[in-house]
Amino acid sequence: GEDVEQSLFLSVREGDSSVINCTYTDSSSTYLYWYKQEPGAGLQLLTYIFSNMDMKQDQRLTVLLNKKDKHLSLRIADTQTGDSAIYFCAETGAGSYQLTFGKGTKLSVIP
Amino acid sequence: KAGVTQTPRYLIKTRGQQVTLSCSPISGHRSVSWYQQTPGQGLQFLFEYFSETQRNKGNFPGRFSGRQFSNSRSEMNVSTLELGDSALYLCASSLAGTGTNTEAFFGQGTRLTVV
């Protein structure tokens, strides 16, 4: 089946930029999402990008998509301790009505 | 506006019992999908409903079922519970379903523990 891969852990210092990477295998993916999950909570939608876009910026968040390499990244500028959480990459294909998630990247921010 | 509401938040059941979980989507959203989250398997898709019709189903046994009502509220049912069904069950709501140009918003989840 289709697959989404992420590294499991990332540690950064407060104030630095964080870059979380994701690769996917489904060439028919139309939308790619980034979700944040804090302990004991559900998933919070951070941003999403349509497959015909290369980049999307939203305040401290920048999403880059390399469709040829099936690589997605999320950059968080000026990372704060409140950004510590698990970040999930997800993709969906047109008409599939389901999200395929990566295993999540646990971001730890060191004060 | 109110977000996605899942009830109950926590549930403890015994093996062999059945359980029903509820999800109320954001007002105006007609698509509801369900996901199971476990430490080992991560987030896995269960099923998706739109206007009371199931449009897609994940790879789960027939013990897992769901339905959607005319007001878009959805329930999922798990019969003959097994220890491995212990998980966080998440519901997502969107206007038209993921894979369309709409965002999917998740509820806080129902934590099911099977003992």
pLDDT surpassing 60 at residue A1: no
Mean pLDDT, to the nearest integer, of B23-27?
A: 97
> Is B99–A41 a contact, with Cβ atoms under 8 angstroms apart?
no
Helices (runs of H) and strands (runs of E) counted in chain B: 0, 11
pLDDT at B102: 74
Is the pLDDT score of B1 beyond 70? no
* B-chain residue closest to A37, CA distance: B108
| pLDDT classification of B74: cutoffs 50, 70, 90 | very high
Least confident residue range of A4-8, A91-95, B69-73, B110-114: A91-95
**Chain segment B76-112, per-residue pLDDT in tens:** 999 999 999 999 999 999 998 876 667 889 999 999 9
- Residue B101 has a pLDDT of 64
Token pair listed for B96: 């038209």
Size of interface A-B (CB pairs under 8 A): 66
What pLDDT was estimated at residue B99? Answer: 65
**Spatial CA neighbour of A61 closest among A92, A20, A24:** A20
Indicate whether A86 pLDDT > 80: yes
- Set of chain B residues whose Cβ sits within 8 Å of the Cβ of A35: 106
Burial class of residue A20, CB neighbours in 10 A (0-12, 13-18, 19+)? buried
Contact residues, chain A, for B101 at CB < 8 Å: 31, 50
Share of chain A above pLDDT 70, in %: 98
How many Å lie between the alpha carbon of A32 and the closest alpha carbon of chain B?
Answer: 9
| Stronger pLDDT, A95 or B30, i.e. the higher one | B30
Confidence check: pLDDT of B24 > 80: yes
| Rounded distance between C-alpha atoms, residue A63 and residue A74, angstroms | 5
Q: Which residue of A has its CA nearest to B39?
A: A103
- Convert the pLDDT of each residue in A2-52 to its tens digit: 689 999 999 999 999 999 999 998 888 888 999 999 988 889 999 999 888
What mean pLDDT, rounded, does chain B reach? 94
- CB distance B99–A104 less than 8 Å? no
**CB within 8 Å: B99 and A98:** yes
pLDDT score, position B55: 93
